[in-house]
């Protein structure tokens, strides 16, 4: 499967999910990373008009879990996030944020993902670590 086909598939499975609600779009894939973007607008604001930290965590878990699926055999495993930790270091009021997931550990059952969220100017907005669990699908 080509990278374009993988991105198309990642975006297709977001219909009727939180990713669709937040307008998360998978935009780039490489040999060791997956990138998604999310618009910063009133749908994802906290009451004072800046990007909500929970929306950033949702973006990070979405891209990290999708990366886990991409880098494992999705016909054999279900992926579940089991722990997430986020450090929000800058606020954003407009534009887009981009989450880039790279593996720190790719084990047989657990994976640890480093996810950096940046803004349109490539400034770090949030640093996230996600641990996922690969559950075998029953035959």
How many domains are there within the chain? Answer: 1
Query: Over the stretch 7-22, which tens digit does the pLDDT of each residue have?
Result: 999 999 999 999 999 9
Beta-sheet pairing, 77-88 with 124-136: antiparallel
Structural domain containing residue 85: 3-136
pLDDT > 80? residue 55:
yes
- Which pair of structure tokens corresponds to residue 128? 């996230």
Query: Over the stretch 86-123, which tens digit does the pLDDT of each residue have?
Result: 999 999 999 999 999 999 999 989 999 999 999 999 99
Over residues 117-135, the mean pLDDT reads: 97
Please pick, among 5, 20, 61, 83, the residue that the annotation labels catalytic.
61
Q: Closest Cα to residue 74, out of 6, 4, 3?
A: 6
Known catalytic membership, residue 20 = no
* CATH code of residue 100: 3.10.129.10
Over residues 32-36, the mean pLDDT reads: 96
């Amino acid at each position: 499967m080509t990278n374009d086909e993988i991105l198309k598939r990642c975006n297709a499975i977001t219909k009727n999910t939180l990713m669709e609600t937040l307008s998360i779009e998978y935009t780039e894939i490489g040999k060791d990373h997956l990138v998604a973007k999310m618009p910063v607008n009133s749908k994802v604001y906290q009451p004072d008009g800046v990007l909500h930290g929970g929306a950033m965590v949702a973006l990070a878990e979405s891209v990290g879990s999708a990366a886990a699926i991409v880098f494992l055999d999705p016909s054999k495993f279900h992926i579940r996030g089991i722990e997430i930790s986020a450090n929000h270091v800058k606020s954003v009021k407009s534009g887009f944020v981009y989450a880039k997931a790279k593996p720190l550990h790719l084990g047989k059952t657990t994976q640890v993902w480093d996810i950096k969220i940046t803004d349109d100017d490539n400034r770090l907005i949030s640093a996230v670590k996600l641990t996922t669990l690969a559950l075998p699908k029953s035959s």
